[in-house]
Amino acid sequence: MMSLEEILAEGSEAGGEKRTSHSEGTLRTGKAKLRALREAMYHSAEHGHVDITIDIRSLGVPWTLHTWLESLKTCFLQQRRPLIQGLLKDFSCIQEDEYTEELITHGLPLMFQILRASKNEVISQQLAVIFTQCYGPFPIPKLTEIKKKQTSRLDPHFLNNKEMSDVTFLVEGKPFYAHKVLLFTASARFKTLLSNRPAAENTCIEISHVKYNIFQLVMQYLYCGGTELLHIRNTEVMELLSAAKFFQLEALQRHCEIICSKNITIETCVDIYKHAKFLGATELSTYIEGYFLKNMVLLIELENFKQLLYEVPAESPIPGPAYDVLHDLEGTLATRIHSIHLSSSKGSVV
C-alpha cells in the first residue's frame, strides 16, 4: 500500500530511532497509511471498483467530493439502488470547502439525473436533503423594485374622467376614459393599441381578458406615476401581474412579483410558480425555485410538488418549449453554490 519512496523514508528515519519516540513513529506510520489508503480510494473510484472504494471508506478514510461523485456515478450506471442510498446518506460527511466547480459541472447534473430517473421515495428524500444543504441557510435573494421614472403622469383627477378624456376603452362592456398623451409614453403596448385605433372619433378600444377592476388599477398606476398609492388585494395580485405583463409595464410587474413572493407558503408555492412560469415572470420564478430548494425536504412529500417535478406542463403562451422544472432547479442551485462558495465576493448575492 505504501510507495517505495515512503518505505525508504521510513527506513532512514528508523536509523535515528534513538532520537524519535515510539508514539511519533506510530503517528508517522499512521499518516503514511492514510495517504496510501486515500490514493487507493481515489484509483478504485476512478476505475469503477465501487465495492473496494466503500470498503476503504469503512476503514475511516474520508470522502473527497471527487471520489464520492465517481462512486455515485458508477452505482447509478450499475443501477445499484442500496449503494446509491448509502452514498447519498454519506454526502453530509463532505466538507463545505469541497464544494468546488466539480460539484456544479458534474455533481448537480448527476444528482438531478438520478432524481429524474428514480421514483424511489427514499432516494428522492435523500436528494432533497442534499439540495437543501447545498442551498445553504442564507435567505433567498429578495426581489427589488424597479426604480423607473414615469416619462409622464397626470393628476388622478383626470382618471376615468369622461369630460376631459380623448380616448375610450371598453372593458367588460363598460367604458373607461383616458388620455393619449399619457398612454403613448406608458409602454410600447399602449402605443400600438392607440396607433391601430380606427380613425372614427368615438371608436372604443376594446380590452379583452382583463377585468374592469384590474384595468382600473393599471390606469391608476399610470396616472399616479407609481405604485405608492395602489391598494392591491391578495385576490387581485396575480391578475394584476398578468395585466402588467400584457401592457409591458415592467415596474408594475415587479411590484406584483414582490407581493407574490411575500405570500408564498408551502401550500401556495406550486400554484404561484405555475402561474409565474405561464406568464414568463422570470424573477418571480427564480425566487420560487429558491423557495423550493430551501424547503425541498418538506415539499418532496407533497403530491402536487412531485407532479410539478415529473409531469410535463401545458404549453405556455410564451414562445419556446415547455419549461423543465428539474432543469430550472439545477440552474438556480448552481448559481447559488457559485455565489456562496466560488464567487470572489462570496455571499454577495445572498
Q: How does pLDDT run across 41-59, given as a tens digit for each residue?
A: 999 999 999 999 999 999 9
Which carries the bigger pLDDT value, residue 95 or residue 20? Answer: 95
Tens-digit pLDDT profile for residues 295-329: 999 999 999 999 999 876 555 444 444 679 999 99
Q: What confidence category does residue 124 fall into, taking pLDDT thresholds of 50, 70 and 90?
A: very high
More confident residue, 164 or 285: 285
> Quick check: 202 and 166 in contact, CB under 8 A?
no
Q: What is the mean pLDDT of residues 13-26?
A: 50
Confidence at 342, pLDDT banded by 50, 70, 90: confident
Residue 19: its pLDDT value, please? 45
Residue 150 pLDDT exceeds 60? no
Given a cut of 80, whether residue 146 has pLDDT beyond it is: yes
Q: Which helix (H) or strand (E) holds 174?
A: strand 174-178
More confident residue, 330 or 149: 330
Q: What is the model's pLDDT at position 228?
A: 86
Q: Find out whether 153 and 225 touch, Cβ atoms under 8 Å.
A: yes
Mean pLDDT over the full length of the chain: 86
What domains are defined for the chain?
A: 4-98 (no CATH), 151-225 (3.30.710.10)
pLDDT-above-70 percentage for the chain: 83
Picking from 222, 228, 245, the residue whose alpha carbon sits closest to that of residue 176 is: 222
Burial of 113 (0-12, 13-18, 19+ CB in 10 A): middle
pLDDT of residue 129: 97
pLDDT band, residue 344 (cuts 50/70/90) = low
Q: What is the dihedral of CA 327, 328, 332, 338, to 10 degrees?
A: 40
What is the pLDDT confidence band of residue 9, given thresholds at 50, 70 and 90? Answer: low
pLDDT of residue 219: 93
Grid coordinates given for 271: 400554484
Higher pLDDT, 77 or 349: 77
Query: Band of the pLDDT at 166, cuts 50, 70, 90?
Result: confident
pLDDT in tens, 200-240: 656 789 999 999 999 999 999 998 888 888 899 999 999 99
Neighbours of 110 (CB within 10 A): 15
- When comparing pLDDT for 161 and 338, which is higher? 338
CA proximity to 227, closest of 200, 257, 269, 204: 257
Residue 343 confidence (pLDDT): 74
